Amino acid sequence: MSYTVVLRMTSELAAPPAAPDDDRALGLAAAAGDVDAFAALYHRHAARVFTRLTRLIGPGPDREDVLQQVFLELHRALPGFRGDARLSTFLYRITVNVACDHLRRRLRRPIATDAIAVDDLIDHGLTPEAQVRARAELHQVFGLLERIKPDKRVAFVLVAVEGLSLDEAAELVGATPDAVKQRVLHARRELVAMIERAERRLSGRNA
């Protein structure tokens, strides 16, 4: 099954990136207490953050709450924003940290997959049969990711799904590139092992 390919469908949901110069001005204004500037940042970036949260924590019903937590953390952190880094990078780091914290709290607690959210991830240009397969694969892959520890899961999504370099992912999660590489390798091995076990069980039932 093409799990990584299916997950990459979520990249189609991202909104076009905002202009860095406009972001910087809005970020500095919001840091100075401008409520309208912060609202503008929210409207510019909420869709993209929501898409990233879908990849990181899955298409569950908790994404709206986590989205609000991301922007609450952004509001708290903005006084430290000086404009020397892109605001989108600043926000991306917060998104990853909030997602990691959320996954740790959710560990061992089953999470329902939002069927409507899964449908939103599917390329509706596919044939009806292909959409059914894609829907089933998405349910399976997010179910498998729930069984991987948060640090490894996030590293895998950042590198294998979002296509970040090890250095870029390391900066976001606050680890060394070697540590991120090991997390990605462990996550990939765990996913492959789970997929192989599932396929053996399926073959046994069909034998």
Q: What is the DSSP string of 123-168?
A: -TTS-HHHHHHHHHHHHHHHHHHTTS-HHHHHHHIIIIIS---HHH
Q: What CATH number did the domain enclosing 103 receive?
A: 1.10.1740.10
Average pLDDT of the residues in 47-58: 91
More confident residue, 136 or 39: 39
Mean pLDDT on 138-149: 83
Nearest to 66 by CA among 79, 53, 75: 53
Question: Model pTM?
Answer: 0.78
Total number of domains constituting the chain: 1
Contact, 12 vs 161, CB < 8 A?
no
Range of the domain at 104: 3-206
Residue-wise pLDDT for 76-132, tens only, equals 999 888 777 789 889 999 999 999 999 998 875 555 555 545 555 666 666 777 767
Query: Distance (Å, rounded) from C-alpha 119 to C-alpha 124?
Result: 9
| Consecutive H or E run containing 185 | helix 177-206
- For 128, half-sphere exposure in the C-beta direction (CA atoms, 13 angstrom radius) is 0
What are the pLDDT digits (tens) for 181-205?
999 999 999 988 988 887 787 777 7
CA pair distance 10, 189, nearest whole angstrom = 23
DSSP 87-111: HHHHHHHHHHHHHHHHHHHHTTS--
Angle, in degrees to the nearest 10, between helices 177-206 and 166-173? 100
With a pLDDT cut of 90, the percent of the chain lying above it is 48
Least confident of 23-27, 66-70, 121-125: 121-125
